[in-house]
């Protein structure tokens, strides 16, 4: 396949570098008391409103490959769209289709699990994943479909290991999901030769779902609870959640401690109901990859120095999808992930342009792996470099400035070297602090990024460069839950506003900052819609190239 870029006639690249700057989680909100972006003091963004071309982009739902426009965007699909220049059907949609058509349950992996359950009685099918309908990492409907089909296929023993959300859904909604799950499991267990139960769990940010190897202790807590059956013991998941709430009233679901459900065996000993044993099958039903890779490594890698696994049971391990196509991790999976080809980065590498990617740990994989179409590494090591600035290991509301200054220092030093043609940057603050639900911290997060952006744009302008500033989805733009019926703020029973920790459905801003070519470009008003996938063609045009065939068109055109 040809990766040749055609030069745009009579249009040259800027003298300096082009920067694509992602203000992660900074959407366009209602400009009210819920909107930390609007409440923040942002003189740099205000200046961009005056001197740059400005529009908004759709960053949610079908506009980024999700099943419906009721689905929030997220950093994974957002960076896929930014880098790929067009929309691919994403994990949530692919899984939904595979379930609805029955293809998932006809896959070799599912059929092998059924066979193992029959051959290794009482072999168990274990299902681990995020329990919510956030549809960012997983969906509870997918889990329920798998449970019902396991029953239909004659699997007698099933255990669910639940990761509580409180991040893509309300902070204290765990029981809203646990109650119907416990009811379904009880319904199936009432049948002859069926034993379906919750076995373990914990909050997603404290148990199992670490990413980018930021804190392996999170994964270790999950391994001990889910696999070894070690941890605080309770008679049910509901009891565990109520106990944690009683101890720390305002602790969000995402930070709840691990728990293990136990019972008494025939000898009267207290034992876990769902420790993993040889001959079992273990499926991770999350479809999103970044927070699924480390637990997959714990199951699959022979050489594993991260923590002492104590024992690694011989199981059929599979993911809902393959979470890393380059590492082939996991080796077995239920649904084939999207094949994203011909990304902007690949085209630019083939054209000989030098590219730099910079972010702190929390978003490093997004400006690298996801931007490049779910591909690890560089297309050309001689032309590309990726720099990770290590994130703090603290609750982000405690340090809402995060590593924005260090990211900016790194970028400025690299830009002043004169080496790079295109730089892609992610400032993680708006998203990571937005997820804490702490509005005042989110305001500081946005202000911190604005200050760093001022420094960065000064250098870009001095070098004769240009910048595209946008976001991958909303988050900090709505920090208080809005009642869908009244359109007013939702409140706790005590009258306090309910914080919102999830992404939003709001559009995201986009500015074209090109001070040395003012008047050369204008917004293309003929576009039916503007979305993240239009950014790639826009960047290529600003670099003096025509967009490749099939790319969504540029947001700007020559004046």
pLDDT by residue for the chain (559 residues), tens digit each? 679 999 998 888 999 999 999 999 999 999 999 999 999 999 999 999 999 999 999 999 999 999 899 999 999 999 999 999 999 999 899 999 999 999 999 999 999 999 988 876 678 999 999 999 999 999 999 999 999 999 999 999 999 999 999 999 989 999 999 999 999 999 999 999 999 999 999 999 999 999 989 899 999 999 999 999 999 999 999 999 999 999 988 899 999 999 999 999 999 999 999 999 999 999 999 999 889 999 999 999 999 999 999 999 999 999 999 988 778 899 999 999 888 999 999 999 999 999 999 999 999 999 999 999 999 899 999 999 999 999 998 999 999 999 999 999 999 999 999 999 999 999 999 999 999 999 999 999 999 999 999 999 999 999 999 999 999 999 999 999 988 778 888 887 788 888 999 999 999 999 999 999 999 999 999 999 999 999 999 999 999 999 999 999 999 999 8
What stretch of H or E contains 456? helix 439-462
Give the closest residue to 164 by CA, choosing from 149, 147, 151, 181: 181
96 and 211, same domain (yes or no): yes
545 and 427, same domain (yes or no): yes
Q: Which residues pair with 466 in a beta bridge?
A: 18
* pLDDT in the model for residue 491: 86
For the question of residue 132 being annotated catalytic, the response is no
* pLDDT in the model for residue 421: 98
End-to-end CA distance of the chain: give it in Å, rounded. Answer: 33
298 and 181, same domain (yes or no): yes
Give the three-state DSSP class for 215: coil
* pLDDT in the model for residue 193: 93
Domain boundary residue among 335, 364, 392?
335
309 and 352, same domain (yes or no): no
* pLDDT in the model for residue 511: 98
| 1 belongs to a structural domain | no
Give the closest residue to 272 by CA, choosing from 261, 283, 286: 261
Give the domain CATH number at 481.
3.40.720.10
In angstroms, rounded to a whole number, what is the distance separating the alpha carbons of residues 168 and 82? 22
Give the domain CATH number at 167.
3.40.1450.10
Domain boundary residue among 303, 335, 367?
335
Given 75, 93, 138, 554, which residue is catalytic? 75
* Contact partners, residue 505, CB within 8 Å, separation at least 6: 60, 61, 69, 70, 72, 474
Give the closest residue to 240 by CA, choosing from 265, 273, 217: 273
258 and 292, same domain (yes or no): yes
| 11 belongs to a structural domain | no
405 and 425, same domain (yes or no): yes
| 275 belongs to a structural domain | yes
129 and 159, same domain (yes or no): yes
153 and 237, same domain (yes or no): yes
| 426 belongs to a structural domain | yes
- Own/partner pairs, 432-435, CB within 8 angstroms, 24+ separation: 432/24, 432/25, 432/362, 432/396, 432/402, 433/25, 433/396, 433/397, 433/400, 433/402, 433/476, 434/25, 434/36, 434/475, 434/476, 434/479, 434/501, 435/25, 435/167, 435/254, 435/396, 435/475, 435/501, 435/502
Q: Which structural domain, as residue segments, surrounds residue 370?
A: 18-89+341-558
| 267 belongs to a structural domain | yes
25 and 114, same domain (yes or no): no
381 and 320, same domain (yes or no): no
| Helix residue ranges, H only, 479-549 | 534-542
Residue in the block written with tokens 């260090």: 406
Q: Given the DSSP bridges, would you call strands 259-264 and 233-234 parallel, antiparallel or unpaired?
A: parallel
| 280 belongs to a structural domain | yes
111 and 46, same domain (yes or no): no
3-state helix, strand and coil shares in percent for the chain, rounded to the nearest 5? 35, 20, 45
| 253 belongs to a structural domain | yes
* pLDDT in the model for residue 212: 84
pLDDT tens per residue across span 328-380:
899 999 999 888 999 999 999 999 999 999 999 999 999 999 999 999 899 99
175 and 191, same domain (yes or no): yes
Domain boundary residue among 335, 357, 388?
335
Give the three-state DSSP class for 234: strand
pLDDT tens per residue across span 433-476:
999 999 999 999 999 999 999 999 999 999 999 999 999 999 99
Q: How many domains does the chain have?
A: 2
| 13 belongs to a structural domain | no
């Amino acid at each position: 396949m040809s990766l040749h870029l055609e030069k745009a006639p009579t249009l040259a690249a800027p003298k300096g570098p082009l920067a694509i700057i992602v203000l992660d989680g900074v959407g366009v909100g209602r400009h009210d008391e819920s909107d930390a972006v609007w409440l923040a003091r942002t003189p740099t963004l205000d200046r961009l409103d005056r001197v740059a071309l400005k529009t908004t982009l759709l960053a949610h739902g079908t506009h980024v490959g999700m099943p419906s426009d009721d689905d929030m965007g997220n950093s994974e699909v957002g960076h896929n769209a930014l880098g790929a220049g067009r929309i691919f059907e994403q994990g949530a949609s692919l899984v939904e289709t595979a379930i609805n058509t029955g293809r998932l349950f006809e896959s070799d992996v599912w059929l092998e699990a059924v066979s193992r359950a029959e051959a290794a009685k009482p072999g168990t099918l274990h299902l681990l994943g995020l329990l919510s309908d956030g549809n960012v990492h997983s969906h509870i409907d997918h889990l329920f479909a798998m449970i019902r089909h396991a029953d239909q296929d004659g699997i007698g023993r099933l255990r669910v290991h639940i990761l509580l959300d409180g991040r893509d859904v309300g902070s204290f909604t765990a029981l809203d999901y646990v109650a119907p799950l416990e009811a379904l499991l009880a319904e199936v267990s009432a049948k002859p030769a069926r034993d379906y139960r919750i076995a373990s769990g914990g909050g997603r940010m404290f148990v199992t779902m670490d990413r980018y190897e930021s804190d392996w202790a999170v994964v270790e807590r999950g391994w001990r609870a889910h696999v070894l059956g070690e941890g605080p013991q309770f008679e049910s998941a509901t009891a565990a959640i109520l106990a944690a709430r009683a101890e720390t009233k305002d602790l969000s679901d995402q930070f709840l401690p691990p728990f293990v459900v136990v019972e008494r065996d025939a000898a009267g000993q207290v034992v876990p109901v769902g420790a993993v044993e040889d001959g079992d099958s273990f499926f991770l039903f999350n479809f999103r990859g970044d927070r699924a890779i480390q637990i997959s490594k714990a199951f699959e890698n022979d050489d594993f120095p991260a923590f002492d696994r104590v024992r690694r049971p011989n199981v059929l391990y599979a993911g809902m999808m393959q979470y890393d196509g380059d590492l082939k991790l996991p080796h077995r999976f239920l649904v084939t992930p999207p094949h994203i080809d011909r990304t902007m980065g690949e085209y630019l590498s083939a054209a000989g342009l030098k590219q730099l990617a910079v972010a702190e740990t929390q978003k490093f994989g997004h400006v690298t792996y996801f931007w490049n179409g779910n591909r690890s590494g560089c297309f050309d090591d001689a032309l590309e470099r990726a720099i990770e600035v290590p994130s703090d290991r603290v609750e982000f509301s405690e340090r809402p400035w995060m590593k924005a200054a260090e990211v900016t220092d790194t970028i400025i030093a690299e830009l002043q070297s004169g080496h790079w043609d295109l730089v892609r940057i992610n400032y993680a603050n708006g998203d990571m602090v937005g997820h804490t639900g702490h509005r005042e911290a989110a305001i500081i997060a946005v202000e911190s990024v604005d200050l760093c952006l001022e420094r960065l744009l000064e250098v870009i302008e001095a070098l004769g460069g240009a910048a595209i500033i946008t976001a991958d989805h909303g988050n900090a733009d709505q920090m208080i839950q809005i009642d869908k019926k009244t359109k007013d703020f939702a409140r706790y029973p005590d009258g306090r506003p309910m914080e919102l920790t999830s992404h939003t459905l709001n559009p995201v801003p986009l500015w074209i900052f090109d001070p040395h070519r003012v008047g050369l470009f204008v917004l293309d008003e003929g576009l039916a819609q503007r979305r993240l996938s239009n950014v790639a063609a826009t960047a290529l045009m600003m670099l003096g190239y025509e967009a490749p065939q099939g790319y969504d068109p540029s947001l700007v055109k020559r004046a």
